[in-house]
Amino acid sequence: MVATQSALVELLARLVGFDTTSAKSNLDLIAFVQDYLDGHGVTSTLVPSEDGKKACLFATIGEGAGGVGLSGHSDCVPVTGQKWASGPFTLTERDGKLYGRGTCDMKGFIACVLASVPLFKSVALKEPIHIIISYDEEVAAPGCRPLIARVGTDLPQPRVVIIGEPTSMQVIDGHKRIDVYRTTVTGKEAHSSLPSLGVNAISVAAKLVDEIDRMAAEIAAKENDLHFEPPCSTMSVGMIEGGTAPNIVPKTCAFRWQIRSLPGAEIGHVPEALAAFAARDLLPAMRKVAPAAAVETESQTSVPAFSAPPQSEAVNLAMALTGANRTSGVSYATEAGLFEQAGCSSVVCGPGDIAQAHAADEFVAVAQLEACLKFLDDLTARLRA
């Protein structure tokens, strides 16, 4: 029997009540989940972070090899600077929608999985169901990597992993790779009344940002993979900082930027191309004034692309459970690529619309959660011995 809506909403309210912004600990949420599972006779293993402030959770219901993993991340993005109509860490229902930080991305899925535990326990399973909860997915997914490294050794290796990111319960068989970089410009300070005596690091950074935009447009004109929206690799600058005062020519400026590349796209040359542009068009003039002037780019993090192979077990299972006759790709990253690399056939399918994620007044529609519960009910029926 499908879990009741009241049980689901109660669980989601508890999960939303934990402020698990990536910069904070998730241990209180993990302790709640572990106690909940213990109450249903399900033991779990924790995989703590190096500093002990966070942890992943892995639990198994049923016996035998293989099985289906249900994976969700516990962290959420900040609410800083956002204006909410209701408290972001208090679940609020309005017009068939449940509001709160993480309701869509992706505590709604975790709540559905937890609400279905009594169902999973009530039947004899021919292969196990694994519950996987990670941390720090929102900051390039470092949290799940130590857990995945133990899969197949002291943790069971699922045959299939379903990552419940918000897809409106559509079946996603691919997503882009993300590479994040930090570029630092070092110029020379001077009084702003005599700018020629200095090297304005912010002005140089602006030219580098313009070159990134130019390269992005060039790449977009060459690629057209309609499986994704947008149908090309993209590049964007997300953060910039520099300068000390309006009357000082700024010595330093740094900006963070990213590439979201199509699976298989050959754009690893972009940082080198940016360096070549700086060496050719910027640094000679900079170093005439300041011999120590520099433009340096460092790689900060990377999340692999995900591209399910033909006849993927995970994709075929998700299509059978949803009744879908087609798949799609997405431009946001998930942990699917990491699980696929570890030998677990993976697919992305979960409740909620990604357009609602990360926004003020984030919500998940109750109808989406009900669809996810039915998905899990049908999965249980398929795994029944």
Cα 287 to Cα 187, 194, 250: the distances in Å are: 9, 17, 15
Distance from CA of residue 63 to its chain's centroid? 30
- How far is the C-alpha of 309 from the C-alpha of 314, rounded, in Å? 10
Q: Assess whether 154 carries a catalytic annotation.
A: no
DSSP string of 60-113, one letter each residue: EES-SS--EEEEEE--B---TT---SS-TTS-EEETTEEESTTIIIIIHHHHHH
Question: How open is the CA angle 69-71-73, to the nearest 5 degrees?
Answer: 165
Catalytic residue, chosen from 137, 179, 189, 362, is 137
| Selected catalytic residue, list 75, 105, 179, 362 | 75
State yes or no: is 75 an active-site residue.
yes
| Coil, helix or strand at residue 380 | helix
Can you tell me the distance from the alpha carbon of 39 to that of 141, in angstroms, rounded to the nearest whole number? 29
CA-based nearest residue to 149, from 304, 301, 344, 307:
344
Tell me which residue of 68, 75, 72 sits closest to 27, measured CA to CA. Answer: 75
The radius of gyration of the chain's CA atoms, rounded to the nearest angstrom, is 24
Name the maximum alpha-carbon separation found in the chain: 81
Catalytic residues: 75, 137
